[in-house]
Amino acid sequence: MRELSDIEAWRQFAHGERVAGRSVGLVPTMGALHQGHVSLFRAAKAASDVVIATIFVNPRQFADENDLARYPRTLEHDRELAAECGVDCLVTPTLDEMWPDYPDCTPTTVSVRGIGDVFEGADRPGHFDGVASVVAKLFAVTGPSHAFFGEKDFQQLAVVRQLVRDLGFDVEVVGCPIVRDEDGLALSSRNVRLSSEARRRALGLSRALSYVASTSARASTLRATMRTILDDAGIDVAYAEVVDPRTLRPSGDDESGPRRALVAGFVDGVRLLDNGPVTVVREN
């Protein structure tokens, strides 16, 4: 596995692979790799000739400095896991390479309005500006490629897809299924911060989604049901919503068909996200 930190070397590596007739798969990460990332590497390996993985803890998507400081950093483990998964090039750019003006504000910001202003965007102002800006830079440096993102961060996936549609990047965005632990908890780098008791309560997220996935009801009924399950589990609910999977517009009771349920909440101060498919039926 080749390791790079210099942006120009990264750009030239990707370009050289394409010139040689090989397709490039890109897997952007913030490190603290787990089996969810492994699934992305495997998907990229199956669909691309060459896999580039990036590890960069992007400060611009953290509004809380303490949250940024607590984000797990396990670079040695990440290197080993990426190599085991067949990643061809691991890119670990420095903060100076990515955001030369940091900690001052970077003059250029990519903002995906509407879809990036709700849910996580409403609760964490500026978060998706940071996400969209760093993803745009990853795409600009890597060039034409397939980019693999997990569906666990469903709103992030929707923001990235909108970004590609609007700015015309020569990138095909591939959403990959959520990977769960044996108990049903969606894999996340934040899970390591949960005590055993907190983890037990956190299972309310997947339990709520599993319940509404097994039934068809009005959107308002599904919302109320999820919130009740989350409350009963002792989760401090941030939101429990049913939305159009592309626009993230909340569904009304006059609508029917497949939708996406989004849930988020705090367990002992740790913010956790989950989502899943649901079916809404029209109110009679």
> Under 8 Å CB-to-CB from 67, ≥6 apart: which residues?
none
Query: Residue written as tokens 């953290």?
Result: 62
Check 34, 37, 127, 146 and give the catalytic one: 37
Longest dimension (CA), the chain: 61
Query: Residue written as tokens 């890597």?
Result: 142
* 37 is known as an active-site residue: yes
How far is Cα of residue 231 from the mean position of the Cα atoms in its chain? 25
Give the integer Cα–Cα distance in Å for 141 and 15: 9
**CB 174, CB 229: distance < 8 Å:** no
Distances (CA, A) of 15 to 19, 89, 108, 145, 265: 6, 13, 25, 10, 42
Strand arrangement, sheet containing 171-176? 2-4, 89-91, 50-55, 24-29, 145-150, 171-176
**CB 271, CB 190: distance < 8 Å:** yes
Which of the residues are catalytic?
A: 37
